[in-house]
Chain A
C-alpha cells in the first residue's frame, strides 16, 4: 500500500491511483459548482452609488449567510452575536473568500485531471491541502458527521446509501492527513 503523497528531492509526488485521482477531481468539480451559486450574492449592494452615499439600506439588503448548510459552513458568519456586523463583514470579505476557495479547488481538479499527475512544490501542496479540507468540510457537513463516526455508522442500516459517503469521507481524512504530515515536516 503506497501513501497518496510522498516528499522527494524534486517536490511532492502524488501517488493516487487513476480512479482515486478522478474521484477527488470530481468532488472538486462539484465544490466549484456549489461555490458558483454564491458568486452573485457576494458582489454586494446592487447599486454602487447607493452604497457610496450610504443608501444601501438596512439589513434586508445586506448579504445574508447562505441557506445551504455546506455553503454556510464554508462561508460562515464572522460574528457569533451580531447579524448586522456579520453581513457587513461578509460584504467586504466574502467575494475574496469565494475566489480563494475556487482557485484552490480548481488547482486540485486540474492537477488531478492532468494526463500525468503533477509534482507539487510547497505552495501548490498548500493549495491542494486547503482544497482537500474544503472537500471534507462539504462532505462532512452533508453527512452531518460528529466526532463519533463509528457510533454513527453503527446506527446506519446496512443498505443505507450514506455508508458510501462515510467510507469516502474517512478515506479523504487519510489522504489529507498524509499531506499535512509531509508539509509539517518541512
Chain B
C-alpha cells in the first residue's frame, strides 16, 4: 500500500507466480474453508484500501483499517472466508476495485 517504505512487496507489484507455492495436493481438501487474500502493492493508497474494505464487505472503519495495516505491514491479509464460489465472487469484486486479491484453501 502506498506511502511508506520497506514492506514485503516494496519491489513493485509482484506477479502471483513469484509467490511461495503451497503443496499442490493440499489444495483440494474438502473440509478446509476458502479464504480471500489481499496482497500488498505499492500503488493503492492506504485510505483507498480501507474505504474499499468498508464498502465491499460492510466492515467497520476499525476493522477495515486493521486489515489494511496487515496488508501494508505484513504483506497480506485474509479479508473474507467461506465457500469457494463466494470467495471467487469476493476476488472479482476486489479486482474490480483495483486491489490485488487471490483465493485459496486455508
A177 touches B88 (CB 8 A): no
Q: Which of A5-13, A41-49, A109-117, A134-142 contacts B (4 or more CB under 8 A)?
A: A134-142
Which residues of B have CB within 8 Å of A78?
88, 91-92, 95, 101-103
B98 touches A176 (CB 8 A): no
Chain A interface residue bracket vs B: 35 or more
A77 touches B102 (CB 8 A): yes
B16 touches A148 (CB 8 A): no
Which residues of A have CB within 8 Å of B91?
78, 89
CA distance A92 to B85 in the complex (A): 11
Q: Which of A74, A80, A140, A151 has the most CB of B within 10 A?
A: A80
Residue ID in chain A nearest B72 by CB atoms: A147
B102 touches A97 (CB 8 A): no
Residue ID in chain B nearest A139 by CB atoms: B43
Q: How many residues of B contact A (CB 8 A)?
A: 39
B104 touches A80 (CB 8 A): yes
- The answer to whether residues A173 and B45 also contact, given A75-B95, A81-B104 and a CB cut-off of 8 A, is yes
Interface of A is mostly: helix
CA distance A100 to B94 in the complex (A): 12
Residue ID in chain A nearest B92 by CB atoms: A93
Which residues of B have CB within 8 Å of A93?
88, 92, 95
A168 CB within 8 Å of chain B: no
CA distance A137 to B16 in the complex (A): 16
A133 touches B48 (CB 8 A): yes
CB distance from B106 to the nearest CB of A (A): 13
B102 touches A180 (CB 8 A): no
B59 CB within 8 Å of chain A: no
Q: Which residue of the partner chain, among A97, A129, A183, contacts B95 with CB atoms under 8 Å?
A: A97
CB distance from B86 to the nearest CB of A (A): 13
Q: Which residue of the partner chain, among A76, A133, A148, contacts B97 with CB atoms under 8 Å?
A: A133
B6 CB within 8 Å of chain A: yes
Chain B residues in the interface with A (C-beta under 8 A): 1-7, 10-13, 15-16, 19, 21-22, 24, 27, 37, 42-45, 47-48, 51, 55, 88, 91-92, 95-98, 100-104
A–B complex contacts, Cβ < 8 Å, 13 sampled: A76-B101, A80-B16, A81-B21, A81-B104, A89-B88, A89-B91, A93-B95, A101-B96, A130-B98, A133-B98, A146-B11, A173-B45, A180-B47
